[in-house]
Amino acid sequence: MTIGIIGYGFSATLFLIFSVLLLTSWRGRIEGTYLLIASTTSACWALTAIAFQVQESALTANTYQLFEIAKNIAWFAFLLRLLSILKSAAGGDDGLLRYAPVTIFSVSALLLGVELSAQFFPGVRNWGGTASFQLVGHLGFAIAGLVLIEQLYRSTRPDMRWAVKYLYFGMGILFVYDLFLYADALMFKQVDSALWQARGFTSSLVAPFVAIAATRNPSWSVRVFVSRQVVFHATTMLVAGSYLVLMAAVGYYIRYYGGTWGKATQIAFVFTGVCFLAVVLFSGSLRAKLKVFVNKHFFSYKYDWRDEWLRVVQTLAEGPGGGQILPRVVQAISDSAESRGGYLWTLGEDGRYHCTSRWQVDDISLDLQAESELIAYFQRSDWIIDIDELNKYPERYDNLALDHRVTDIQDAWLIVPIKHHEALIGFALLIRSHSLPSINWEDRDLIKAAAKQAGGYLALLQASEALNRANQFEAFNRLSAFVVHDLKNLIAQLELVVKNAERHKNNPEFMDDAVRTIGNAVNKMGRLLAQLRQGRFESTETKQFYIEESVAQAVNELFAYQPKPQLKVKDNYLEIVADKDRFTAIMIHMIKNAQEATDKDGEVKITV
């Protein structure tokens, strides 16, 4: 296997992959059709070059020549289509360019005729001037291609050149190398074998450049997805590999000319270079700058929005809930701006904005009034404040005057509003980034998206805290009701003892009953205080008992009140499982309410 077969094989593989991507995403646009034909023809041309190297014959040679002409025609058709679109959009006169398609296709037809004649009549190749005519024709193709690229570049608006510049690079590689190859062949009357074999590798560079341009032009009907991580790591490996090759070359030079110290110096130099490379690869700031370079020059959008959205959601969702989500809100927004840290202010119940959380920065104590200029600005605008831009162009921010306590924060950079349903529930202040000296529209969109998602989480946290407070208040109300009922019952029992003490204080049975009543009241008060300390008033002891016993106890405790309660038991031994003291207290409360609602000459009857 020769180097030429490897090079053309690599080129065929890349063009075939690109053709498959174009075919699977084709949406019927004519530009996509031209590009698909050009890519497929280029793949077939590379395959015929491999076939010619594997078995040299008149058939393989002529087939290769035919596909080379077809490849040039296909790329010319695509470029002319783009040029006509640009000229039509600009409304300019085509001038002499209107004759370019006719001229190019006439020369192509003539070359095709010569090649077809040579295939069926091999003697044609021996005619004088035929070979030179073919070389001149291919050289003319290369020159025409470069002229087309120059016209395309001139016709493209400066603000749109980023979308097609890689197409120009790729086509420039193709035609410049052809110009060099066929100019050399015309000079020496034959194609240089080494140049022709290297042509496979140079042509393989065209496919990636055109693919990048296609991703930036949806009208070309290609939706190619290349992982940013793959491109980033591939670029890192390419840079690292180039660096190591350079170090090896310099090391070889040192060893060759270093005399007796050459080998030792080479080892020390290469080892130092490898150590330096390792330090660079693990440098966060350099990796961030390389990622910015890759995103800026190889993708139509700076960010992979799917990955960024998943990152924001994962950052906000991981870890414990409650107040622990506040640092993650700062982290999610800071990571979106590649910031080193930041602070979070949230709206408090007092109407002020309090610094409630931070991430990777020192703690501060700074509250802002709702009437401050910053809060008023965010209430009428969603625009992210770039403090550097505000200092240079205050008119862009309605001449906003920030509190000096905010601007005095070390490395203060961006202030991001956090809203939910148009209500400002907080804002974040981000610390300056090492890798992003400034932000553009796409950076702002990403930061806004992260802030909106964070706003939803903050609103959910505030709603949860409000619900928790409401539940606690409701529990306190229930607790208060039970406490009042129990206190009323205890007061009634003790009041009855005091009322009867004057008449029966010399009666030993009364004294025994009074002591039991007071002891019962003390026990109830003890249980009540214990439950108050626990913050709840719930049943703590359940057991099985007879209902009539509990009701009878309640009747006995209230028997001294008018009208006297009357108990009638129809069914004995009715069992229930509950807190007996609580059940008895409820019965006492019901009977006491009935007595208070009935005249003294009335009746209160309880039936079990």
Q: What is the mean pLDDT of residues 35-47?
A: 94
Q: Which tens digit of pLDDT belongs to each residue from 322-379?
A: 668 899 999 999 999 989 999 999 999 899 999 999 999 999 989 999 999 999 999 9
Quickly state the pLDDT bin for 222 (edges 50, 70, 90). Answer: very low
* Same-domain pairing of 202 and 114: yes
Q: Reply yes or no on whether the pLDDT at 224 is more than 70.
A: no
Q: Reply yes or no on whether the pLDDT at 121 is more than 80.
A: no
Task: Give residue 126's pLDDT.
Answer: 45
CB–CB of 105/75 below 8 Å?
Answer: no
Burial of 257 (0-12, 13-18, 19+ CB in 10 A): exposed
Average pLDDT, the chain: 81
Query: Which CATH number fits the domain that encloses residue 120?
Result: 1.20.1070
* Same-domain pairing of 330 and 443: yes
Distance, CA of 48 to CA of 249 (rounded, Å): 37
Query: Which CATH number fits the domain that encloses residue 542?
Result: 3.30.565
Q: What is the mean pLDDT of residues 92-120?
A: 60
Of 174, 192, 225, the last residue of a domain is: 225
Residue 543 dihedral angles phi and psi, to the nearest 5°: -155, 170
Q: What is the mean pLDDT of residues 409-428?
A: 94
Is 45 inside a domain boundary? yes
Roughly how many angstroms between the first and final C-alpha of the chain, as a whole number? 106
Query: Which CATH number fits the domain that encloses residue 433?
Result: 3.30.450.40
Pick from 77-86, 238-247, 298-307: least confident: 298-307
Distance, CA of 312 to CA of 153 (rounded, Å): 40
Task: Give residue 492's pLDDT.
Answer: 74
Distance, CA of 497 to CA of 505 (rounded, Å): 10
* Same-domain pairing of 25 and 169: yes
Encode 304-327: b = buried (16+ Cβ within 10 Å), e = exposed: beeebeeebeebbeeeeeeeebbb
Q: What is the 3-state secondary structure (H, E, C) of 39-63?
A: HHHHHHHHHHHHHHHHCCCHHHHHH
Q: Which tens digit of pLDDT belongs to each residue from 459-505?
A: 988 888 888 888 777 777 777 777 777 777 778 778 777 877 877 77
Q: Which tens digit of pLDDT belongs to each residue from 276-334?
A: 777 776 766 566 666 666 665 555 566 777 788 888 999 998 877 666 889 999 999 99
Residue 292 or 29, more confident: 29
* Same-domain pairing of 446 and 535: no
Among the listed residues 240, 243, 237, 235, the one whose alpha carbon sits nearest the alpha carbon of residue 269 = 243
Task: Give residue 27's pLDDT.
Answer: 58
Task: Give residue 157's pLDDT.
Answer: 79
Residue 225 or 530, more confident: 530
* Same-domain pairing of 545 and 426: no
Task: Give residue 541's pLDDT.
Answer: 67
Task: Give residue 123's pLDDT.
Answer: 47
Q: Which of 245-254, 322-331, 422-431, 596-605 shows the highest mean pLDDT?
A: 422-431
Q: Domain count of the chain?
A: 4
Among the listed residues 419, 380, 420, the one whose alpha carbon sits nearest the alpha carbon of residue 400 = 380
Is 463 inside a domain boundary? no
Among the listed residues 344, 438, 357, the one whose alpha carbon sits nearest the alpha carbon of residue 391 = 438
Task: Give residue 117's pLDDT.
Answer: 57
CB–CB of 160/153 below 8 Å?
Answer: no
Longest dimension (CA), the chain: 153
pTM assigned to the model: 0.43
Q: Reply yes or no on whether the pLDDT at 386 is more than 70.
A: yes
* Same-domain pairing of 87 and 116: yes
* The dihedral sign for the CA sequence 326, 328, 331, 336: negative
Task: Give residue 529's pLDDT.
Answer: 78
Task: Give residue 97's pLDDT.
Answer: 56
Is 345 strand, coil or helix?
strand
Strands 543-546, 565-568: pairing is unpaired
Q: What is the mean pLDDT of residues 398-406?
A: 92
Is 292 inside a domain boundary? yes
Q: Which tens digit of pLDDT belongs to each residue from 137-150?
A: 888 889 888 988 98
Q: What is the mean pLDDT of residues 243-255?
A: 71
* Same-domain pairing of 452 and 504: no
Quickly state the pLDDT bin for 94 (edges 50, 70, 90). Answer: low
User: Percent of the chain having pLDDT more than 90?
Assistant: 27
Is 464 inside a domain boundary? no
Q: What is the mean pLDDT of residues 241-247?
A: 71
Task: Give residue 558's pLDDT.
Answer: 77
Task: Give residue 416's pLDDT.
Answer: 97
Pick from 415-419, 428-432, 567-571: least confident: 567-571
Of 298, 316, 346, the last residue of a domain is: 298
Q: Which residues pair with residue 578 across a beta bridge?
A: 543
Of 416, 434, 458, the last residue of a domain is: 458
Quickly state the pLDDT bin for 57 (edges 50, 70, 90). Answer: confident
Distance, CA of 402 to CA of 398 (rounded, Å): 12
Is 465 inside a domain boundary? no
* Same-domain pairing of 430 and 314: yes
Distance, CA of 351 to CA of 26 (rounded, Å): 56
Is 313 inside a domain boundary? yes
Quickly state the pLDDT bin for 218 (edges 50, 70, 90). Answer: low
Q: Which residues contact 574 (CB under 8 A, 6 or more apart)?
A: 546, 547, 548, 608
* Same-domain pairing of 73 and 208: yes
Is 520 inside a domain boundary? yes
Task: Give residue 300's pLDDT.
Answer: 54
Residue 507 dihedral angles phi and psi, to the nearest 5°: -90, 115
Is 446 strand, coil or helix?
helix
* Same-domain pairing of 396 and 493: no
Q: How far is CA 404 from CA 50, 158, 359, 366, 575, in A?
A: 71, 41, 22, 11, 74
Task: Give residue 100's pLDDT.
Answer: 60
Quickly state the pLDDT bin for 583 (edges 50, 70, 90). Answer: confident
Q: What is the mean pLDDT of residues 214-224?
A: 64
* Same-domain pairing of 215 and 92: yes
Domain of residue 409, residue span = 307-458
* Same-domain pairing of 12 and 32: yes
